[in-house]
Amino acid sequence: MTMSDATSRPGTLWRRIHDTLSHEIDDGRYPAGAKLPTEAALAERFSVNRHTVRRALEALREAGRIHVRRGAGAFVTQGRFDYAIGPRTRFSANLAELGAAPNRRIIRLETLPADQQEAERLGLAKAAPVIVAENIAEADGVPVIYSRNTYPADRLPGLYGALREVNGITKALAKIGVTDYQRLWTRIVAERPGAMIARHLKMPENHPVLRTESLNADPHGRAVEYAKAWFCSDRIALVVDKSSFG
């Protein structure tokens, strides 16, 4: 343990490193995509041990300020992504256009009876079977969206298996023959995330999220997806595509 570690109050050292690096990112010393110094270099700079540096870096990662590439180091993430909302909103395409690496993880996949709202939105009979997929979407390894996507099971036979086999909703729908779909409408509200969503998005519970509710339909006008999504507002800005206005 260094002299600085021993004489400072517990919990203040890693926070000082976190705040200093955060300010330096904001000021452009470490721009988006820049690699941060190694743990050893930061430990020497701040006269602390590497464990203290590691805790500060982990807090920056949880806040979405940096992402870590195994074997390569810590890199500054892009600030707030502009996420286009339009008739053909696609997560992977949105992020790829911004130069970010997209990834989507399904954390829950079940076939359940539709609740009243799901049945109404999808045009189904009460308690008709629906496929529910809960997802975490990441940009450069940082969680940015938590979503609950609901699909009419009888209308989309084979989708459950496709969602398990391929990475991506658009690819899964294409696999069962739905090669195109459009967003009919989107509703956006701001709210607190709640403990579960904050945990999945690795964000503080007192920071707001942007919650969207949307409905997608195939070219024949049949509803194929009803979704609710929670966007971390520190990392994503929603931009309404002008083509949405027809």
Q: Please, what is the average pLDDT of the chain?
A: 88
Q: Give the position of tokens 């701001």.
A: 190
- To the question of pTM greater than 0.75 for the whole model, the response is no
pLDDT at 49: 94
The residues near 145 (Cβ < 8 Å, ≥ 6 apart) are 91, 135, 136, 137, 201, 229, 230, 231, 232, 236
pLDDT at 100: 75
- Output b/e per residue, 142-156; b: 16+ Cβ within 10 A: bbbbbbebbbbbebb
Q: Is the pLDDT of residue 245 over 50?
A: no
Helix (H) or strand (E) holding 66: strand 66-69
Q: What percentage of the chain carries pLDDT values higher than 70?
A: 92
Question: What are the strands, taking DSSP E only, across 154-235?
Answer: 182-191, 209-217, 223-232
| Residue 57 phi, psi dihedral angles, 5° rounding | -65, -35
The packing angle between helices 39-46 and 12-26, to 10°, is: 110
**Which residue would you say has higher pLDDT here, 4 or 133?**
133
Question: Could you read off the pLDDT of 35-64 as tens digits, one per residue?
Answer: 999 999 999 999 999 999 999 999 888 777
CA 62: distance to chain centroid? Answer: 12
Split at pLDDT 50, 70, 90, the class of 246 is very low
**Which residue would you say has higher pLDDT here, 213 or 23?**
213
Question: Could you read off the pLDDT of 164-201 as tens digits, one per residue?
Answer: 999 889 999 999 999 999 999 999 999 999 999 998 98
